[in-house]
Amino acid sequence: MPKIPRDISGRKLAGLLDRYGYKIPRETGSQLRLESKLGDESHKITIPDHRPIKIGTLNSILTELAGRQKISKVELTVELFGKRKK
């Protein structure tokens, strides 16, 4: 399993999720609300605008997104953050 980065910010993660169609329609305080539309369905997720995001929070976000994209968390991590560790 590739390592999840421990130094990623909420803004950086939001930028990486753009490839899956997630946009930031609103920001409230230190929270970023992302939304993606697949056909007539929309998916919303809130991520903290912290630097860095706590590893448990990031892990939870990645698990939810992998389920939504119907891919494994390993695949999602490799697509977002780079190469798989050997």
Would you state the pLDDT for residue 84?
Answer: 57
pLDDT at 1 over 60: yes
Is CATH 3.30.920 what the domain over 10-81 is classified as, yes or no?
A: yes
**Surface-to-core class of residue 29, CB atoms within 10 Å of its CB (0-12 exposed, 13-18 middle, 19+ buried):** exposed
- C-alpha to C-alpha distance for 59 and 41, rounded to whole angstroms: 24
Q: Please report, as a single letter, which amino acid is at residue 58.
A: L
Mean pLDDT of 69-81: 92
- C-alpha to C-alpha distance for 31 and 41, rounded to whole angstroms: 22
Would you state the pLDDT for residue 82?
Answer: 84
The model's pTM is 0.85
Would you state the pLDDT for residue 86?
Answer: 52
**CB 73 within 8 Å of CB 58:** no
